Amino acid sequence: MPQNFSIIVVGCGGTGSFVAEGLCRLLIGSDIPILLIDPDRVEQQNLIRQNFYEGDLGKFKSQALAERLSRQFHRRIAYSVYPYMPDLIGENWGGGLRSPAIQGIIIGCVDNADARRQIGQTLRFGNWWLDAGNGFSSGQVLLGSAKNLELLGSPFIKESGEVEGLPMPSWQLPSLLAPPTRKKPETRDCAEAVAAEEQSPVINQAMATLVLEFIYLLLNKKLTWMGAYIDLDAGTLQTVRAEPEIVARMCGVKVDTLFRNDCSTGNRYSLRRR
């Protein structure tokens, strides 16, 4: 992995707060830096389904998590109380030149198209974007690294059976960047949504578990999925394999254009850490 490899969690609410703690457990014994980003503060209603306690009230969510988890797991955790910004993953030198400030995995646990669009527009070579989104009792986790065919290139390496790039989440599921079809009442918060049965009280923990499984498999070079869809009501989990045929259909290209070379291999591909 690159020397400045990091894991960034954008959004520390319902899903992100549980992902942050799970990462600390998953990375015990590792010095991979963790950065938490969220400009919101902890409110009373957040205590119902987010990973916060009464002592966190009034603090920034990213700050509260970073301080508590760093004490519990004896590791340094960075946090930002500002929204996700492009300079976090690259510095603009002008003339189209840009240097990477952070390389690694950006875990998006946001619930709006604008935040996802910001992540997608600033995604650079060497970074993976793992997006988690959910509805009432279902959701999806999608992983990718390229926003167009030029950046995707020929990511499948036949000789090793590895994948160096995949279409980013908003390319796999364009509706992620679509505005909401109906406006949510401004006076209804998360707790009220749970009480009104508009949000399952356990879906965020299920999403966090799925996100952590992606990270675990990816870091150990065992991940063969590019997406996964969960439905708690139906009791189902459906994965989308990172296979050349699936990516070719998604991108509208011939399968042969996605191969790095012509060496033979099996029919399973794992995602390669840059």
Query: How does pLDDT run across 29-44, given as a tens digit for each residue?
Result: 998 999 999 999 999 9
Domain boundaries, the chain: 5-271
Residues near 160 by beta carbon (within 8 Å), at least 6 away in sequence: 265, 272
pLDDT at 194: 53
Q: What is the distance of C-alpha 196 from the center of its chain?
A: 28
pLDDT at 268: 60
pLDDT at 122: 81
pLDDT at 103: 76
The token pair at 154 is 């020929």
pLDDT at 124: 78
109, 10 contact by CB (below 8 A)? yes
pLDDT at 100: 56
Residues near 68 by beta carbon (within 8 Å), at least 6 away in sequence: 56
pLDDT at 126: 76
List, for the chain, all residue ranges whose pLDDT scores fall below the cut of 70.
Answer: 1-4, 88-102, 180-198, 261-274
Which pTM does this prediction carry? Answer: 0.87
Class of domain 5-271 (CATH, top level): alpha beta
Q: Can you tell me the distance from the alpha carbon of 122 to that of 107, in angstroms, rounded to the nearest whole number? A: 14
145, 166 contact by CB (below 8 A)? yes
- Rg over alpha carbons for the chain, rounded to the nearest Å, is 19
Distances (CA, A) of 57 to 64, 164, 216, 246: 9, 42, 31, 46
- CA angle 145–1–3, rounded 5-degree value: 115
